[in-house]
Chains A and B, each alone.
Chain A
Amino acid sequence: MAAAGAVALVATSVLAGCGSGDGGIVVNVYKYPQENFQKIVDNCNAAADGYEIVYHKLPREADGQREQMVRRLAAEDPGMDVLSLDVTWTAELAKAGWIREYTGEAKAEVEDGTLETPLETARYEGKLYGAPDNTNVQLLWYRGDLVQTPPDTWAEMIRLGSELESRGEPGLVEATGKQYEGLVVLYNSLVNSAGGQILDENGTKAVVDEGAVKALEVLKTFATSDVVDPSFSNAAEDDARLAMEAGDAAFMINWPYVYAAAQEKPEFAKNLKWAPFPAVEGGESTATVGGLNYAVSAFTEHPDESFDAVLCLRNAENQKFQAVNDGVPPTIEAVYDEPEMAEAYPMKDAILETLKNASARPSSPAYQNVSTVISTILSPPANIDPRATADRLRSELQDALDSKGVLP
């Protein structure tokens, strides 16, 4: 008992150390390492009334970020005030009761002028739990010197690629097929494009309907076609980008950051063109939305200051600043019309158009498990057997949703 008491004593004094500083109120913001974010924090501190924002860096990888936050939230750590959440974590943290709902003025200000799709990722059961900071959506990138008009559908893209290949020109299609979130994003986009569903609206039941089966067929067809990169099943975003830059591919499904990255190779960059995400035959193209939302911890001792800080960190001016300097697409629609955006985002119209049609990933408190199950079952994509894979998805996803299953 004495030992336990001593441990508790040490813990309290350590925690107190991260809380309020000497006299002033501190709002601790936890965000991934973003190059120019400190500048935004400084701006907000200059404008802040009666509190100081401190930027704490989370690990670079999404899994590590989530792990640190959920571990500390589970322990009801009051040292975290503002959390930056990947769009897929909202449901989980809201359901667990670890983040606060946005209400009243804060809610009105967040919803004012913000694009609907990113907002949708910040909602759970009709309530707003996050303030969208940036968004992201995949586009179809292609080589303008090889392809005149970009394909509208996957079938067309595969056909165009084959033609190029048969003429001895680079015709490969790059996409993220490695066993990780990137494969889930790719599959989710295909499912939505085919008008299907993986989970029901409430995220409590595994549906995996005909559209989802159709998406499996498209993925299988692509993964076994002659335009797929041989290392597709091991490719993450950057592998795809590098293969495209190396001149192996004519098409690539990837996030807009590839545009900025390509500028280091001017010869390649001048031919790099973009188009909306390709559709599945007979459907509309709907890409998956990514990005980041700010949530306020349920255990913060300074909720008012935290909400205030969030509103500043994500205001139009700061969104523009990070869009231009750090390359992350804004969530406030008006920012896209700012003159500075034209240079940093020549593809902003394609992003906006894709965003308006884009859809979120399944919303469920068990998203982490859902994602792990999907990426495990779909990997490698060439081994998909549409009907059987769909059945397996349905049963293992249901287990994951009921927190009965075992995570691989």
Chain B
Amino acid sequence: MSEGKKAERRLGLLLCAPAILIMAAVAGWPIIYSVWLSLQRYDLKFPDRTEFVGLDNYVTVLSNSYWWNAVWITIVITVVSVVVELVLGMALALIMHRTLVGRGIVRTATLIPYGIVTVVAAFSWRYAWTPGTGYLAETIAGGDPVLTQKIPAIMVVILAEIWKTTPFMALLLMAGLALVPDDLLKAAAMDGAGGWQRFTKVIVPVMKPAILVALLFRTLDAFRIFDNLFVLTAGSQGTASVSMITYNNLIKGLNLGIGSTMSVLIFLAVAIIAFIFVKLFGTAAPGSDGGGRR
């Protein structure tokens, strides 16, 4: 390596160093610390009982029915909302892509739900589903307090989640649609492919990287659902997601040991989801070259 190249490399490292240090401080250290906490019995209410317990907390959490209920609730919310969002988002993306008149207005209008702060949106959903004051509770639910019943409450949570993030999905998919060359579609039409065939055989394969990135982002987001749930049910009647139950144990229960164990488990689950998407489905991180299977 030439002297100039070495100097350049040193400069590069130096320029990166502050960012790396800050990342280590704000992301790395808390992760290490929560792993450390998860190996202890550490309850702020009982400061004199703190001790190292090894994997006891993991045994406690993984053998607990509340935790597994939260895992299933989270999976249901994630799968249902992401699937519905993909279908709706694709439809919206196609519409936005084809719109000839007022394209800007259509796109802006579609993005409004995504622009509203989640907590604010969740509050309006909560009031809408509250009997007495809410128009949805009075018309659709016939005055039933749907948010206090497990299954209906989960449905409302999923609905709120879909309403909020479909625009994001549509936006990502629309970017993917722009990648599909018009010539390819014209050629397919010349070869006699119908609309549906053009969609499944041409558009979707070309868009695949964009679709997978959209799915990855939304799956990870949905898996960590917290704000919507916090406002809508606060996890009562067994509607807690894994993030919600972690919050309950960590912040409400002040049990740092159990709560950290849950955080570590969520961290692992998110890592596994990302791994599956990137390695098995070949999702490319945005910005990386190739944009497909490696």
Contact = CB atoms under 8 A, between A and B. Distances in A.
Given A3-B22, A3-B25, A379-B237, A407 B245 contact: yes
Interface string B235-273: 111101000010011011111011000000000000000
Contacts of A1: 21
A406 B148 contact: no
A403 B245 contact: no
Given A178-B148, A406-B66, A407-B252, A366 B60 contact: no
B41 A403 contact: yes
A95 to B, nearest CB: 6
Interface string A1-20: 11110000000000000000
A71 B43 contact: no
Nearest to B259: A407
Nearest to A2: B21
Given A3-B21, A407-B248, A366 B45 contact: yes
A231 interface: yes
Interface residues of B, number: 35
Contacts of A97: 47
B26 to A, nearest CB: 8
B98 interface: no
A67 B22 contact: no
B49 interface: yes
Contact of A405 (B49, B64, B245): B64
A95 B46 contact: yes
Contacts of B44: 70, 74, 96
Interface string B204-237: 0000000000000000000000000000001111
Nearest to A365: B45
Most chain A beta-carbon neighbours within 10 Å: one of B47, B248, B254, B258:
B254
Contact of B254 (A74, A372, A408): A74
A156 interface: no
A368 B45 CA distance: 10
B163 interface: no
Nearest to B250: A407
Contact of A95 (B45, B61, B149, B234): B45
Nearest to A375: B236
Given A70-B254, A180-B236, A369-B253, A403 B67 contact: no
Given A179-B236, A369-B253, A408-B240, A96 B248 contact: no
B282 interface: no
Contacts of B235: 408
B44 to A, nearest CB: 6
Contact of A179 (B46, B49, B237): B237
A365 B238 CA distance: 25
A389 interface: no
A223 to B, nearest CB: 15
A263 to B, nearest CB: 21
B47 A96 contact: yes
Given A95-B45, A408-B245, A368 B60 contact: no
A327 B240 CA distance: 36
A216 to B, nearest CB: 20
B240 A403 contact: no
Contacts of A178: 148
A405 B60 contact: yes
A92 interface: yes
Given A3-B21, A67-B251, A368-B252, 15 more contacts: A3-B25, A3-B26, A66-B252, A71-B251, A179-B148, A365-B45, A368-B253, A368-B254, A403-B257, A404-B60, A406-B258, A407-B245, A407-B249, A407-B255, A408-B238
**Complex A-B, nearest 4 residue pairs according to Cβ-Cβ distance, in ascending order:** A403-B43, A406-B64, A408-B66, A365-B45
Interface of A: 1-4, 63, 66-67, 70-71, 74, 92, 95-97, 178-180, 231, 233-234, 365-366, 368-369, 372, 379, 403-408
